[in-house]
Amino acid sequence: MRRSFPLFAILAVPLLLTILTLIGLFGALIYDGAWDVIGSALLGGVIGVALWAWVRARVGHRS
Amino acid sequence: MQTRTLKGWSWVHKWSSLVSTTFLLMLCITGLPLVFSHELDHLLLDEPWAPAHADGRRLSLDQVLETALARQPGEVPAFMSFDEDRPVVNVTSRRPDAPEGQYSFQPIDQTSGDAAPLVAGHPVMEFLLQLHTDMFLGLPGMLFLGAMGLLLVVAVVSGVVLYVPFMRRLVFGTIRIDKAARTRWLDYHNLLGIVTVGWVLVVGVTGIVNTLATPILAYWKDTALKELTVAYADPAPVGERASLDAAVERAKVALPGKTLQFVAFPGTAYSTDHHYAVFFHGDTPLTTHLTTPALIDARTGELAAIAPTPWYVKTLALSQPLHFGDYGGLALKIVWAILDLATIIILGSGLYLWLGKRRKAI
């Protein structure tokens, strides 16, 4: 039987992604220049994570 | 989590999503081109143009206003705004008996008084914006979409609650690609839903705030601004108005170091019945979105007050960029559009999962 993860383990990554998203959203609003890039990168990280999961699943499936 | 509690949250998630899905899909689809409205307007309205007398003397604001109103007889001025990169003044006017939201918009070359080409507000973009804002239903439409936004927030929160028991035995990011289509799409739905929670909540909540623009501004007029109009019995008559140029100059002296953004004429949502509200914004990235009006008595031209905007008007002002994502350059807009597409996938997959479950039950 597979083990059951505790609450923190389940929500750790989503929580981290949400915090980074909010830093990106508000950082780009409050500051200019480099923060426009940082904000886009932090927000884009969310898409990166989803892509990583998809690629991992496909690679795992093939192998 | 007890089975009963789980069923309760599941019920909340199902119905908050189902009721709002059609409207949220419409908002996501119309919102996608609106993220790039500046670029699309530029593309659709691109027309070579130069001011008639680039180095010549500029017309006064009063002259521009007079010119604009002569072209729209019977209309009264509502707003005047200023292009940043060309000597063009935009005059918005309306018939006194026109339905709410019906305006004439004229960009005017300040060096000659001739009409200048539009650089924003292409009819297609205006159509999409109106559909996105109120579905052509005015305030009831806006408030209805606000209620749909509220359901979105409920759906997201209940979705996070349901995510926990669902992921008890699965590693983060699991997509069971070798399982049945329904399981696979459930994993896509959960993964995209959980990674976009922060963005969806910010866009959803700021969307709700934006739908409350009319009541927020009306409340501001009826409370903070009303104190400034106690001395006036009747609205300022149209023919008895002080010079607009003098009013703007007076406002500039009262708010040094700020950038002139627009003028709201008496009787509009952004002013009282007695004042020119001359709006300025700051020059930092944050204060660019925050405006402060100087109220100039429309009869005497005297400065009546600087009316710092209260927290709820500031919240409304900041909700606009945070909803449309047009404040961090093209890269942020592209990411915004991808997240919008991800939301469309979340909504579509949610609908697919519900239909599949229903078919199974039948």
pLDDT in tens, B238-281: 667 899 999 999 999 999 989 999 999 998 988 888 899 999 99
Percent over 70 (pLDDT), chain B:
96
For B324, nearest residue in chain A (alpha carbons): A25
Residue range A37-57: mean pLDDT, rounded: 95
For residue B128, give the H/E element and its range: helix B123-134
Q: Which of B332, B333, B343 to mutate to test the interface with A (most CBs of A within 10 A)?
A: B332
d(CA B292, CA B281): 6
B149 in Cβ contact with B19 (< 8 Å): no
For residue B305, give the H/E element and its range: strand B303-306
Residues A12-34: tens digit of each pLDDT? 999 999 999 999 999 999 998 89
Tokens of B64: 């521009």
How confident is residue A1, by pLDDT bands cut at 50, 70 and 90? low
Give residue A63's pLDDT.
Answer: 67
Which neighbouring-strand residues pair with B147? none
Mean pLDDT, chain B, rounded, equals: 92
Residues B177-200: tens digit of each pLDDT? 989 999 999 999 999 999 999 999
Number of A/B CB contacts below 8 angstroms equals 112
Mean pLDDT, chain A, rounded, equals: 92
Residues in A closer than 8 angstroms to B288, CB to CB, are none
For B340, nearest residue in chain A (alpha carbons): A47
The single-letter DSSP state of residue B115 is: B
Kindly state whether A25 is in contact with chain B, defined as any CB-CB distance less than 8 angstroms. Answer: yes
Kindly state whether A28 is in contact with chain B, defined as any CB-CB distance less than 8 angstroms. Answer: yes
Q: Do A43 and B322 touch (CB under 8 A)?
A: no
d(CA B123, CA B145): 22
Q: Can you list the residues of chain B whose pLDDT is less than 50?
A: none
Give residue B239's pLDDT.
Answer: 64
Q: Which residues contact B50 (CB under 8 A, 6 or more apart)?
A: none
Nearest Cα residue to B326 out of B47, B125, B124: B125
Give residue B348's pLDDT.
Answer: 97
Which residues of B, range 317-346, sit inside 8 Å of A by Cβ? Answer: 318, 321-322, 327-329, 331-332, 334-336, 338-339, 342
B45 in Cβ contact with B117 (< 8 Å): yes
B58 in Cβ contact with B51 (< 8 Å): no
How confident is residue A42, by pLDDT bands cut at 50, 70 and 90? very high
Residues B207-223: tens digit of each pLDDT? 999 999 999 999 998 88
B168 in Cβ contact with A4 (< 8 Å): yes
